[in-house]
């Protein structure tokens, strides 16, 4: 348990806490089932199109929800840069930082596997979730952290090209269609590693292209620590990523597909991440607009803890227990099933937020 550094001066970077908390709040709402309830409540009605943005796009395309994981991995890269800067100031050697990072990545991998391995029908190895991916991308970002910017940029290009080459030119029978669900190289890798592949199209190999998100976050952190202008470079690189990502998609070269993290998706989503952080940093840390942020920052300060709580404890016990109580009480007064479901989801979220608030008041901040 420790406080996270926010800048070279040791103060917290509030925009980072806000952006992390913003993402975690949306993830927490998803874990309560709120979006599914809203979807059925608005089915064939006004507002359903907006609700659909809180679900992953089924294949070729981009929804708001497809940006959540890239955002999470991007801000993890920023946190890595700030943490390494603090370690260097306190005299920690590279070897010591490496061991510390390796342990953290090991814990991320462990919790990611444990969370998704337990199913009613038994244990099942799955490696395509955000924590296992983050364990790999964080380690890679650490290993090249001291490289110059051109070298890190070249590494990002290399990872994206590697992904393209493997998907397009390996020609494995049955898995030689680079952009087709169940018939691409990523599905083959999962079949080799786990003996199965995800029917919804998610693949473990996504850690190769999405390492770009974490490296970009680390580069953003280095830019913050350098004392140089931050907003303009982020906006410019955001435009470059948008042009490349959407250009590849619109030209028909590489479609935007989140589930297999195509290069076009990686670049387009990174553009949104760069612009989102640029806005948050400008609005909060530059313009000093800090009112009404605590609702999000309280969650952001314990992001890993609350994520593991609602993914493991919530989905397997807590949610059902709260729904049994709140739903039962509302049913007694004749409330409809849809209203009961929505209110129960909100009650679950409130209790989870209050748990984060309790930890915040006690100054307890869990870190892996």
Query: Do residues 291 and 18 lie in contact, with contact meaning Cβ atoms separated by under 8 Å?
Result: no
Instruction: For residue 269, report the phi and psi dihedrals to the nearest 5 degrees.
Output: -65, -35
Of 121-135, 233-247, 278-292, 300-314, minimum mean pLDDT range: 121-135
The pLDDT value recorded for residue 2 is 36
The pLDDT value recorded for residue 4 is 41
| Domain of 280, in residue numbers | 14-361
Residue 84 neighbours by CB under 8 Å, 6+ apart: 97, 142, 145
Domain presence at residue 1: no
Question: Both tokens of residue 215?
Answer: 């490296």
Instruction: Give the count of domains, the chain.
Output: 1
pLDDT in tens, 236-260: 999 999 999 999 999 999 999 999 9
Domain presence at residue 190: yes
Domain presence at residue 50: yes
Q: How confident is the model at residue 150 (pLDDT cuts 50, 70, 90)?
A: very high
Does the structure show a pLDDT above 80 at 124? no
Domain presence at residue 4: no
What average pLDDT score do residues 164-168 get? 96
The pLDDT value recorded for residue 146 is 94
Q: How confident is the model at residue 1 (pLDDT cuts 50, 70, 90)?
A: very low
Query: Do residues 308 and 110 lie in contact, with contact meaning Cβ atoms separated by under 8 Å?
Result: no
Three-state DSSP at 258 gives coil
Three-state DSSP at 204 gives helix
Of 234, 207, 225, 214, the closest CA to residue 80 belongs to: 214
Domain presence at residue 5: no
The pLDDT value recorded for residue 129 is 85
Of 9, 25, 28, the closest CA to residue 17 belongs to: 25
For the chain, percent helix, then strand, then coil, each to nearest 5?
A: 70, 0, 30
Three-state DSSP at 257 gives strand
- Pairwise pLDDT comparison (267 vs 366), residue with the higher score: 267
Domain presence at residue 7: no
> Considering the entire predicted model, what is its pTM?
0.92
Domain presence at residue 151: yes
What average pLDDT score do residues 279-284 get? 96
Does the structure show a pLDDT above 50 at 9? no
Residue 9 neighbours by CB under 8 Å, 6+ apart: none
Instruction: For residue 206, report the phi and psi dihedrals to the nearest 5 degrees.
Output: -60, -15
The pLDDT value recorded for residue 10 is 47
Domain presence at residue 367: no
What average pLDDT score do residues 337-345 get? 94
- The secondary structure of 140-165 as a DSSP string is HHHHTTTS-HHHHHHHHHHHHHHHHH
Does the structure show a pLDDT above 50 at 8? no
The pLDDT value recorded for residue 11 is 59
Q: Report the distance separating Cα 49 and Cα 59, nearest Å.
A: 17
Does the structure show a pLDDT above 60 at 231? yes
Of 168, 182, 170, 172, the closest CA to residue 254 belongs to: 168
What average pLDDT score do residues 149-176 get? 96
pLDDT in tens, 74-104: 999 999 999 999 999 999 999 999 999 999 9
Question: Both tokens of residue 97?
Answer: 């930082």
Total Cβ atoms within 10 A of residue 138 = 24
Q: Report the distance separating Cα 243 and Cα 274, nearest Å.
A: 14
Distance of CA 251 to the CA centre of its chain: 28
- What's the mean per-residue pLDDT of the chain? 92
């Amino acid at each position: 348990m420790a406080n996270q550094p926010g800048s070279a001066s040791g103060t917290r970077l509030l925009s980072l806490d806000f952006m992390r908390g913003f993402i975690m709040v949306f993830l927490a709402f998803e874990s309560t089932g709120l979006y599914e309830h809203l979807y059925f409540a608005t089915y064939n009605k006004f507002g359903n199109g907006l609700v659909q943005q809180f679900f992953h796009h089924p294949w070729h395309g981009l929804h708001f929800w497809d940006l959540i994981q890239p955002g999470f991995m991007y801000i993890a890269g920023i946190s890595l840069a700030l943490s390494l800067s603090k370690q260097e100031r306190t005299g920690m050697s590279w070897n010591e930082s490496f061991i510390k990072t390796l342990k953290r990545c090991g814990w991320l991998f462990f919790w990611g596997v444990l969370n998704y391995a337990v199913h009613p029908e038994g244990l099942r190895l799955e490696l395509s979730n955000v924590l296992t991916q983050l364990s790999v991308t964080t380690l890679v970002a650490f290993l090249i952290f001291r490289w110059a910017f051109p070298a890190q940029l070249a590494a990002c290009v290399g990872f994206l090209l590697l992904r393209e080459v493997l998907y397009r030119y390996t020609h494995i029978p049955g898995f030689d269609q680079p952009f087709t669900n169940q018939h691409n190289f990523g599905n083959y890798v999962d079949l080799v590693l786990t003996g199965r592949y995800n029917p919804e199209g998610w693949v473990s190999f996504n850690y190769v292209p999405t390492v770009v998100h974490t490296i970009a976050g680390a580069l953003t952190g280095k830019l913050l620590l350098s004392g140089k202008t931050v907003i303009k470079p982020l906006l410019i690189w955001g435009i470059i990523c948008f042009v490349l990502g959407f250009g590849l998609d619109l030209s028909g070269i590489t479609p935007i597909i989140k589930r297999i993290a195509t290069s076009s998706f990686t670049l387009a989503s990174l553009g949104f991440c760069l612009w989102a952080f640029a806005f948050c940093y400008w609005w909060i840390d530059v313009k000093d607009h800090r009112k009404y942020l605590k609702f999000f920052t309280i969650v952001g300060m314990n992001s890993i803890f609350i994520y593991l709580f609602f993914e493991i404890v919530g989905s397997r016990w807590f949610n059902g227990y709260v729904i049994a109580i709140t739903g039962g009480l509302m049913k007694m007064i004749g409330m409809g099933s849809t209203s009961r479901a929505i209110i129960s989801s909100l009650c679950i979220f409130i209790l989870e937020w209050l748990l984060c608030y309790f930890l915040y008041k006690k100054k307890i901040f869990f870190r892996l």
